[in-house]
Structure 1
Amino acid sequence: MGKTIIGIVGSYRKGRVIDTAVTEILKGAESVGSKTEKIYLTEKQIEFCNNCRSCMQQPGDKRGDCVYDDDMEEILQQIDKADGYVLGSPVNLGTVTAVMKRFMERLAVYAYWPWGKIAGPKFRNDKLNKKAVIVTSFTPPAWLGRLILSGTSKSLKYMAKVMGARVVKSLYFGMVGEKPETGLDEKSLQKAFKAGEELAKNLGD
């Protein structure tokens, strides 16, 4: 039975760089037998985390329950069932987009941090037995963006860790801010496709 990979798109622009890259990664994963799903965060009702920490009070591997009744619960159920993830966001003011940050904060359910505990939260799945690919884009050339705009990739890697996944591939696409219709060239599409193949082949390792 094929493994399941979920692509989470934190971009506001369908059909552009991040969305296209996530799509190609998922196609690559499908080519070697994985099942895939894609989530557009802009289409989901996700409330702001209010830092009540109710979801973090009970110990154990099972994720906590959030006090909000919104679309995040459905997303969390998909995350729980998946074997791998693709997390994508462009750089916005040096970090992930606001909608991706909202999603990120709601991942608090995957941590244990009871009141009275001075040390920081403990991730419920610290075995990192799932796998992930992260993808980001920015205006400078890729090599330069990786150096001076690393906030987004660091946040995406942190999200993967919270979700119990080890990042097996990081994709950086530069020179995408020159015009509003910027897309990915054939070389970049192939790179994304191969990343999907690699992700799928690493599942279960």
Structure 2
Amino acid sequence: MKITAIVGTYRKGGVIDTAVGEILSAAREHGAETETIYLIDTHVEFCRNCRSCTQSSGDSPGVCPLNDEMPRILDALDKSDAFILASPMNFSTVTAVTKRFIERLVCFADWPWGRPAPRTRKPVREKRAVLVASSAAPAVLSRLATGMVKLMKSAAALLGAKSPDLLFIGMCAMGEHHTLSPRVIRRARRLGRKLAGGS
């Protein structure tokens, strides 16, 4: 069992990073191999909207002409049985580095010129996934009032996830160094066990 975490936080050791760490720790205790990719440390170019990657047919991701680390990330995710996509909320959505990564997932669209709508290249969704998000506002308010979760779910679907679980941590601006509550830690570890195939 291999689990890859795509982490879009700017603050290592912060809320998102700590929550992902708890999930992965629990997964490793149940035999999973894990890898963490911090987008802030990874060379991912902005999508240029050239649509070169959408022109080829087939189920494999389209090839992007940009020279960066996106192929390495996609290869790691493809070889994983499960994955985590994590980002704090900035201005009602994911962070800029996370959005940049998500925009590059257009390579999973089979969408040649002249066709009115795309075909998804990963029609079979069988990977387990967890989405991790945080916000200064209460979690329920952030979920209902913004499109952040919908965006993350769309990205997870393109990567082959089936019904991803969600860990949304709210009220993270109550102090400069917010710590996870015991309840959040328990849920994070429970999700880690589930990702690894446990209960």
TM-score range, shorter chain: over 0.9
Structure-2-length-normalised TM-score: 0.95
Q: 1:24 aligned to 2:22?
A: yes
The aligned counterpart of 1:63 is 61
User: Do the aligned partners of 1:133 and 1:167 also contact (CA within 8 Å) in 2?
Assistant: no
Separation in structure 2 between the aligned mates of residue 141 and residue 69 of structure 1, nearest angstrom = 40
Instruction: Give every structure 1 segment of 4 or more consecutive aligned residues whose post-TM-superposition deviation is greater than 4 Å.
Output: none
Q: Paired residue for 2:153, among 154, 157, 164?
A: 157
Q: Paired residue for 1:41, among 31, 39, 42?
A: 39
Kindly tell me the number of residue pairs found equivalent between the two proteins. Answer: 198
Separation in structure 1 between the aligned mates of residue 149 and residue 42 of structure 2, nearest angstrom = 23
Could you report, residue by residue, the CA deviation over 1:69-102 in whole angstroms, capped at 9, with x for unpaired residues? 1111211111111111101111111111000000
Deviation at 1:135, TM superposition (A): 0.9
The amino acid of 1:32's aligned partner reads: H
User: Do the aligned partners of 2:61 and 2:121 also contact (CA within 8 Å) in 1?
Assistant: yes
Q: Paired residue for 1:130, among 116, 127, 132?
A: 127
Query: What are structure 1's unaligned runs of at least 5 residues?
Result: none
Separation in structure 1 between the aligned mates of residue 164 and residue 53 of structure 2, nearest angstrom = 29
The amino acid of 2:128's aligned partner reads: K
Separation in structure 2 between the aligned mates of residue 126 and residue 103 of structure 1, nearest angstrom = 21
The aligned counterpart of 1:114 is 112
Separation in structure 2 between the aligned mates of residue 168 and residue 41 of structure 1, nearest angstrom = 20
Separation in structure 2 between the aligned mates of residue 72 and residue 126 of structure 1, nearest angstrom = 21
The aligned counterpart of 1:181 is 177
The amino acid of 1:9's aligned partner reads: V
User: Do the aligned partners of 1:10 and 1:42 also contact (CA within 8 Å) in 2?
Assistant: yes
Instruction: Give the 3-state SS of the residue equivalent to 1:87 in structure 2.
Output: strand
The amino acid of 1:129's aligned partner reads: E
Once the two structures are aligned, what percentage of the paired residues are identical? 46
User: Do the aligned partners of 1:28 and 1:194 also contact (CA within 8 Å) in 2?
Assistant: yes
Separation in structure 1 between the aligned mates of residue 21 and residue 29 of structure 2, nearest angstrom = 12
Separation in structure 2 between the aligned mates of residue 72 and residue 49 of structure 1, nearest angstrom = 11
